[in-house]
Amino acid sequence: MEIKIRPYEPSDLEACRRLWTELTERHRQIYEDPSIGGENPGEFFDTYLQDPNLRGVWVAETDHKVIGLTGLMVNLFGETDVEPAVVLSDFRSRGVGRKMVDHVIAEARKKKMKRLSARPVARNIEAISFFVRAGFDIVGHIDLSQDLDPDSDIDRKSGLVIHGNSLKF
């Protein structure tokens, strides 16, 4: 399978909305919460395109079909993130994601960025493992949360220990 990484074009809009929907569906599964992303999660891709921190959007394609989406975000402090990195489920584990992330790494280097981060959700063990294999092995930030809703039905997983602190995810 030949994979081509190229800049996003307006004609890719519907394919990228479908990818965004697939990413949202994965988060719904991970967190067992069908409300994540609202009724039409693909529309959030449109909002993503308007983000002033966005410095590049690329798609992966094979046989003229868009099968992956990735981007580069740079915030006001010059911190850079791979955001998102999503591949259609039928094409995962074939090197598509790695090729996309390698492209973003190269773009960040061209822009003379000093550091590049990836921020997968804590429960996405596959994504975390993927990014570690791609060289993201420095923990830069940790977001700690607290459930404020006593009736929350989110099943938190245990087993994460950082600096001797037992955490749930």
89-125 pLDDT per residue, tens: 999 999 999 999 999 999 999 999 999 999 998 889 9
Which 8-state DSSP code applies to residue 148?
Answer: -
Closest CA to 96 of 85, 84, 109: 85
Residue 130, domain extent: 4-141
Domain contains 155: no
Domain-embedded: residue 99: yes
**Contact predicate 88/61, CB 8 Å:** no
pLDDT tops 80 at residue 153: no
Nearest to 44 by CA among 20, 67, 60, 9: 20
Whole-prediction pTM? 0.89
For residue 19, being part of any structural domain is answered with: yes
Q: Total structural domains in the chain? A: 1
In a domain, 118, yes or no: yes
CATH number of the domain enclosing 107:
3.40.630.30
For the stretch 127-140, pLDDT in tens is 999 999 999 999 98
Question: Is residue 166 in some structural domain?
Answer: no
Asked if residue 111 is part of any domain, the answer here is: yes
On whether residue 161 sits in a domain, the answer given is no
In a domain, 157, yes or no: no
